[in-house]
Structure 1
Amino acid sequence: MYRVIGSGNSRARRVLWMLEEMGLPYEHVPAPPRSEDVIALNPAGKVPVLIADNVPITDSTAILSFLADRHGQLTYPAGSIDRARQDSLTQFLLDEFDSALWMAARHSFVLPEALRQSAIKDSLKWEFGRSQKVLMQRMGQGPFLMGEVMTVPDIILTHCGDWASAACFPITEPGLEDYLARMRTRPAYQRAQAV
C-alpha cells in the first residue's frame, strides 16, 4: 500500500487521482505544505510525498512517472516514440501551464507580502492563453491528449485546468474546455476530488 502525504487541494490531488485510476490501495495523510510531518520527509516542505517501499518520493510528476512505470498503466513503454511524445507533452505542460500557475500562486500567497508583484499576473494570464493555442495544435484526435490512451499528461493538464479555474486564469480554447469537462466526469477523478 502506498501513502500519499499532502493536502487534497495541492498537487497531491494528481497522485490521488492516478492511484484511483489504477485501482491501487493507498493511505492519504492530508498534511499541509511546510508542516513538520512534510519537512521530515522533504526538507523543502513541499507536497506531495509518496511513501513507496518505506522510501519517500517527492515531486508530483516524478511520482506519477514512477507509478506509471512501476504498474505499466497510463504510460507508453520507456524508449518508445510514443513515450518520447508523452514526455514532451509532460514537459510542455509543466513549462507552460504549471509554471505560470505556480508563479501566480507565489505572488498571491506564497512569497512574503513585501516581495509579491501582483502585476505579474497579467503577463502570466497572457502566456497561459497563448500556451492553450499551442496545446490545441498538439492534442491528439481521441478523447485524451495523445489520442485513444489516457496518460500522465492528462492528469497534469486536468489538474492545471482546475487550478486555473480557482486562480481565475481563463480557459480560452473551446476544445480545451470540452476536454476538461470530459476528464472531470471520470469516476476516478471524482473519487480523488472527494478525498
Structure 2
Amino acid sequence: MKLELCEVADGEYGLKSLSPFCEKAHRALYFHKLDYIRNHTGRPSGHKQYNPAGQVPVLLIDGQPVPDSTAILIRLEELSDKTLLPADPAECGEAWTWEEFGDSVIAQYIPVARWLDERHWPLNKHYYSQGVPKPLKSFIENLVRKNVGKAYAKRDVLKQGMDAAWAEFERHLDNLEARVPATGFWMGDALTVADIGLFSCIQELRIPTTPWHRDRINERVTLAGWLDRVDAATADKH
C-alpha cells in the first residue's frame, strides 16, 4: 500500500506543516505508524486534480484521493491496528465533537493572527511570497493580505473587530484550561481524535510567529502541559 500526503510547504518550530489540517494528518499518520511520502506544492490549489475544492490535505491511498483531514482520520482507522477512537460510543462521540471544535472554532483564528494582526504580519508575510522575484514580493504579500482581509471581514470571527476576536479567543482558552486534564490525554489515558484535532489547531498559534497567542496559551499552564504531552506522543522523531 502506498500512502502519499498532498500538502503545502514544510512547517517550522516542531510542526510538519503550518496548516493545522495538514498537521493533523501528519500527527495521525505518525500515531498509526504508517509510512508515507510527502507531495508539496506552493499553494493548496496545486493539488486541485485530487480535490476540486482546491484544499489540503489530500491523502492518496494507492492513488485514490481522500480529501479533508477529518475524512483522513476516519480512513486511517481502517488501515491500522491502532485506534484513536474510544471504545465507548458516548466517549467516541465526544471525542469527535472536540475534534470538530478545533476545526471550526480554533482554526479560524490562525489566518487572522498571521495575516491580519499588525503585531504578527511582519513575522509571517514572507511565507506567502516564497519563490517570488524580489521586486514583486511586497506586491504579492499585500495582495494576499488584502484578499484574506476581505474574506474574513464577512465572517463571525471578526464581526465585532479584532479586539473582540482576541477577547473571545482568550475565553475559549479559559474554557479549555478548565476542561483539560492535568495528566494523560483529553479523554483519559489514551490518545484520541480529540487530542489530535485540538492540538493541531492550538499548537499552530503557539510558535514564535504569533507571540501574543503563544504567550496567552502558555499562561494556561495545564493546557500547555497537555499540549506538550500530545506533542511528545505524536511528533515524528525523524
TM-score by length of 1: 0.80
The CA deviation at 1:158 is 1.8
| SS of residue in 2 equivalent to 1:64 | helix
For 2:221, give the aligned amino acid. P
Q: What corresponds to 1:32 in structure 2?
A: 42
1:6 aligns with 2:7: yes
Q: What corresponds to 2:230 in structure 1?
A: 183
- Whether the 8 Å CA contact 1:5–1:30 is kept in 2: the answer is yes
Give the distance between the partners of 1:152 and 1:70, measured in 2 at CA: 16
| SS of residue in 2 equivalent to 1:155 | helix
Closer/same/farther in 2, CA of residues 56 and 126 from structure 1, 3 Å limit: same
| SS of residue in 2 equivalent to 1:185 | helix
Give the distance between the partners of 2:231 and 2:163, measured in 1 at CA: 27
Figure out how many residues of one structure are paired with residues of the other and give that number: 189
Match of 2:179 among 138, 141, 153: 138
Match of 1:89 among 93, 98, 113: 98
- CA deviation digits over 1:109-159, x for unaligned, max 9? 565267276994433322221112222333346411111010112112222
Match of 2:205 among 157, 164, 183: 164
Match of 2:67 among 58, 61, 64: 58
Give the distance between the partners of 1:32 and 1:120, measured in 2 at CA: 31
The CA deviation at 1:40 is 1.1
For 2:107, give the aligned amino acid. D
Q: What corresponds to 2:125 in structure 1?
A: none
The CA deviation at 1:21 is 1.3
Comparing 6-15 with 171-180, greater Cα deviation is found at 6-15
The CA deviation at 1:64 is 1.6
- CA deviation digits over 1:144-191, x for unaligned, max 9? 1111010112112222222112434231411111111222223x4143
Give the distance between the partners of 2:22 and 2:166, measured in 1 at CA: 24
- Whether the 8 Å CA contact 2:6–2:59 is kept in 1: the answer is yes
Kindly report which structure 2 residues correspond to 1:46-125, keeping only aligned pairs within 5 A, or say none: 46-68=55-77, 70-71=79-80, 72-77=82-87, 80-105=89-114, 107=116, 109=144, 112=147, 115=150, 120-125=161-166
Match of 1:22 among 32, 53, 71: 32
Closer/same/farther in 2, CA of residues 155 and 121 from structure 1, 3 Å limit: farther
The two structures, once aligned, show a CA RMSD in angstroms of 2.8
